């Protein structure tokens, strides 16, 4: 019989959706029976008590977790998030219930042996509850006690060659998509770049020295499967510079509704969307209206294509990404903290990602940005907020990147170009005034 009554939580099990409450109840039962004969190092009824404290929080309409607290492993400042319950007498099993972040491998490739070893450690030294994966990308191990933290860290590092992830005001565990390991749209090897930067910035990952958190995310194409444009302070999004490759025969197969050419690669199978209409579903939805289909021939004005991927996703057998590939670097995205949520702004329109020199060029951009943010950023100010406060032009100055047309979202509405006095006093602004005088009457 359950240790705590949970009528409010039970409601979350109704409906057709999977429920974390059912998962927790199942885990509580497994621990109670302990058929595997695990020698638990934290209370056996920790998951029962977790359900109990959550029910109490729902009843009171407020959390019963105290604010974080400092816990960690020797030599690191991040990787463990302290959690203490403010009702330890009622729920002794979760008196301490710390979260550990474990760095996920690039592309999240695991062997079953790895997963078994990890869960074995966690069943014994933690609650057995995992979150695969947290919003940052790491493996999240939920719930252990202070004395177990060093033990778990030792087992991870010595027996599994596995590191902790980031937490606090440091570089958070970099996260990437599968990239060229499995995806035909990959414009660069996101796994390789993620791995390189993770190794290169170990100090920044483990020892918090930044004004606030900083996230790298790597999307190998503009489909943005890890949503780097919305979720990372610096996002690396694959793109190409040359033309989209068109197979005109395949385009016509889509237009003729050939069964072997289902639009969207058959992703909408089972729903009747009617016959495929290239005008409505491709040309009409191109954001820059840069496509034409005439005389059975598809034409794309590539200079005006923004590489949004819509047409390629819709007709994947007919259209392919170009061959001159690399990535764009965007900065400043964040979830709503101060001033609401923000998407990344384009900083580097295109950089190749093939050689050591390319990697060096990328680290130069990163380190210039960090130098400025660490110097000027206020405590708990994300990069995006500093850009808002001091201006994008300042960011261009500190990174030594020249303003380019791609930095302008819409002509004549550029919010971050301000003229300096010396530029206004003479130079080309004077020429503009002269030009207007003579030509724009
Ligand atoms: Fe238009 Fe997007 Fe296709 Fe470019 S990728 S042609 S912008 S739909």
Q: What's 202's domain CATH number? A: 3.30.413.10
pLDDT of residue 408: 79
Residue 439 lies in a domain: no
- HSE at residue 409, side-chain half, CA atoms within 13 A, is 9
Distance from Cα 251 to the centre of ligand 1, integer Å: 15
Considering the domain architecture, whether residues 61 and 179 belong to the same structural domain is answered as: no
Longest CA–CA separation in the chain, Å: 91
Q: How confident is the model at residue 413 (pLDDT cuts 50, 70, 90)?
A: low
The CATH code of the domain that includes 314 is 3.30.70.20
Residue 418 has pLDDT above 70, yes or no: no
Residue 102 has pLDDT above 90, yes or no: yes
Residue 391 lies in a domain: yes
Distance from Cα 355 to the centre of ligand 1, integer Å: 29
Considering the domain architecture, whether residues 41 and 114 belong to the same structural domain is answered as: yes
CB 28 within 8 A of CB 51: yes
pLDDT of residue 233: 96
pLDDT of residue 65: 95
pLDDT of residue 164: 94
Considering the domain architecture, whether residues 184 and 114 belong to the same structural domain is answered as: no
Q: Note down the domain range covering 314.
A: 245-320
Residue 307 lies in a domain: yes
- Burial class from Cβ neighbours inside 10 Å (0-12, 13-18, 19+) for residue 227 reads middle
- HSE at residue 150, side-chain half, CA atoms within 13 A, is 4
Residue nearest to atom 8 of ligand 1 (CA): 286
Residue 2 lies in a domain: no
The CATH code of the domain that includes 35 is 3.30.70.2500
Question: Which pair of tokens denotes residue 310?
Answer: 């819509």
Q: What residues have CB less than 8 Å from 28, skipping those under 6 apart? A: 2, 45, 47, 48, 51
pLDDT of residue 324: 97
The pLDDT tens digits of the residues spanning 319-350 come to 999 999 999 999 999 887 677 888 999 999 99
Considering the domain architecture, whether residues 82 and 134 belong to the same structural domain is answered as: yes
pLDDT of residue 327: 97
Residue 340 lies in a domain: yes
Q: Of the residues 251, 285, 291, 301, which should be mutated to test ligand 1's pocket, given the most ligand atoms within 8 Å of the CB?
A: 291
pLDDT of residue 270: 72
Residue 429 has pLDDT above 60, yes or no: no
pLDDT of residue 30: 94
Q: Of the residues 239, 287, 304, 310, which should be mutated to test ligand 1's pocket, given the most ligand atoms within 8 Å of the CB?
A: 310
pLDDT of residue 433: 60
Q: How confident is the model at residue 416 (pLDDT cuts 50, 70, 90)?
A: low
Distance from Cα 245 to the centre of ligand 1, integer Å: 12
Residue 432 lies in a domain: no
pLDDT of residue 432: 60
Q: How confident is the model at residue 434 (pLDDT cuts 50, 70, 90)?
A: low
DSSP for 101-145? EEPPPGGG---HHHHHHHHHHHHHHS-SEEEES-TTSSEEEE---
Distance from Cα 279 to the centre of ligand 1, integer Å: 13
| Of 159, 183, 208, the domain-final residue | 159
pLDDT of residue 269: 72
Distance from Cα 306 to the centre of ligand 1, integer Å: 6
Distance from Cα 233 to the centre of ligand 1, integer Å: 26
Considering the domain architecture, whether residues 231 and 250 belong to the same structural domain is answered as: no
Determine how many CB atoms are found less than 10 A away from the CB of residue 119: 14
Question: Which pair of tokens denotes residue 128?
Answer: 């057995």
Helix (H, G, I), strand (E, B) or coil at 187: coil
Phi-psi category of 348—alpha, beta or left, where left has phi over 0 and alpha has psi -120 to 50? beta
Considering the domain architecture, whether residues 208 and 294 belong to the same structural domain is answered as: no
Considering the domain architecture, whether residues 139 and 201 belong to the same structural domain is answered as: no
Which atom, in ligand 1's list, is nearest to the CA of 310? 8
Going by C-alpha positions, the residue among 210, 217, 233 that lies closest to residue 380 is 210
Pocket lined around ligand 1, Cβ cut-off 6 Å: 286-288, 290-291, 300, 305-311
| Of 287, 320, 353, the domain-final residue | 320
Q: Count structural domains, the chain.
A: 3
Question: Which pair of tokens denotes residue 437?
Answer: 């005088």
CA 275 to chain centre: 36
The pLDDT tens digits of the residues spanning 43-66 come to 999 999 999 999 999 999 999 999
Task: For residues 293-302, give the mean pLDDT.
Answer: 97
CB 124 within 8 A of CB 34: no
Considering the domain architecture, whether residues 151 and 180 belong to the same structural domain is answered as: no
| Of 90, 124, 159, the domain-final residue | 159
pLDDT of residue 271: 77
Residue 110 lies in a domain: yes
255-259, 406-410, 415-419, range with the lowest pLDDT = 415-419
Q: How confident is the model at residue 266 (pLDDT cuts 50, 70, 90)?
A: confident
Considering the domain architecture, whether residues 85 and 19 belong to the same structural domain is answered as: yes
Task: For residues 10-37, give the mean pLDDT.
Answer: 93
Residue nearest to atom 2 of ligand 1 (CA): 308
Residue 352 has pLDDT above 80, yes or no: yes
CA 410 to chain centre: 26
Residue nearest to atom 1 of ligand 1 (CA): 286
Considering the domain architecture, whether residues 120 and 226 belong to the same structural domain is answered as: no
Considering the domain architecture, whether residues 234 and 256 belong to the same structural domain is answered as: no
Considering the domain architecture, whether residues 135 and 223 belong to the same structural domain is answered as: no
The pLDDT tens digits of the residues spanning 70-96 come to 788 898 988 999 999 999 999 999 999
Residue nearest to atom 6 of ligand 1 (CA): 305
Angstrom distance (rounded) from CA 235 to CA 383: 12
Residue 1 lies in a domain: no
pLDDT of residue 2: 76
């Amino acid at each position: 019989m359950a240790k705590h009554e949970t009528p409010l939580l039970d409601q979350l099990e109704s409906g057709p959706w999977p429920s974390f409450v059912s998962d927790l109840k199942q885990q509580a039962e497994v621990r109670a029976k302990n058929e595997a004969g695990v020698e638990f190092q934290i209370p056996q009824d920790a998951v029962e008590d977790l359900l109990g404290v959550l029910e109490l929080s729902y009843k009171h309409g407020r959390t019963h977790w105290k604010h974080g607290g400092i816990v960690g492993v020797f030599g690191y400042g991040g990787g463990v998030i302290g959690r203490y319950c403010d009702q330890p007498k009622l729920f002794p099993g979760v008196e301490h219930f710390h979260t550990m972040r474990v760095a996920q491998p690039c592309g999240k490739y695991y062997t079953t042996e790895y997963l078994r070893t990890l869960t074995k450690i966690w069943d014994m030294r933690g609650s057995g509850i995992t979150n695969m994966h947290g919003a940052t990308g790491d493996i999240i191990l939920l719930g252990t006690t202070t004395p177990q933290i060093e033990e778990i860290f030792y087992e991870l590092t010595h027996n599994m060659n596995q590191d902790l992830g980031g937490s606090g005001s440091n570089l958070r565990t970099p996260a990437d998509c599968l990239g060229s390991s499995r995806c035909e749209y990959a414009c660069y090897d996101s796994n390789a770049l993620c791995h390189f930067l993770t190794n290169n910035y170990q100090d920044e990952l483990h020892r918090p020295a930044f004004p606030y958190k900083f996230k790298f995310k790597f999307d190998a194409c503009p489909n943005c499967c890890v949503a780097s444009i919305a979720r990372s302070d610096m996002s690396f999004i694959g793109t190409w510079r040359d033309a989209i490759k068109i197979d005109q025969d395949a385009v016509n197969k889509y237009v003729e509704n050939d069964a072997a050419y289902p639009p969207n690669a058959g992703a909408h199978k089972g729903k009747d969307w009617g016959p495929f209409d290239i005008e409505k579903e491709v040309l009409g939805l191109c954001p820059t209206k840069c496509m034409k289909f005439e005389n059975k021939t598809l034409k794309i004005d590539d200079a005006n294509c923004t590489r949004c991927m819509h047409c390629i996703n819709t007709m994947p057998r007919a259209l392919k990404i170009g061959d001159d590939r690399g990535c764009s670097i965007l900065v400043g995205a964040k979830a709503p903290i101060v001033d609401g949520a923000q998407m990344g702004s384009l900083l580097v329109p295109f950089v190749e990602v093939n050689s050591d020199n390319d990697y060096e060029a990328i680290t130069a951009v990163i380190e210039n940005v960090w130098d400025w943010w660490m110097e000027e950023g206020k405590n708990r100010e994300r990069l995006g907020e500093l850009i808002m406060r001091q201006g994008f032009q300042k960011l261009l100055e500190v990174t030594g990147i020249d303003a380019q047309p791609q930095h302008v979202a819409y002509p004549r509405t550029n919010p971050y170009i301000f003229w300096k006095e010396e530029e206004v006093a003479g130079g080309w602004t004077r020429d503009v005034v002269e030009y207007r005088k003579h030509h724009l009457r």
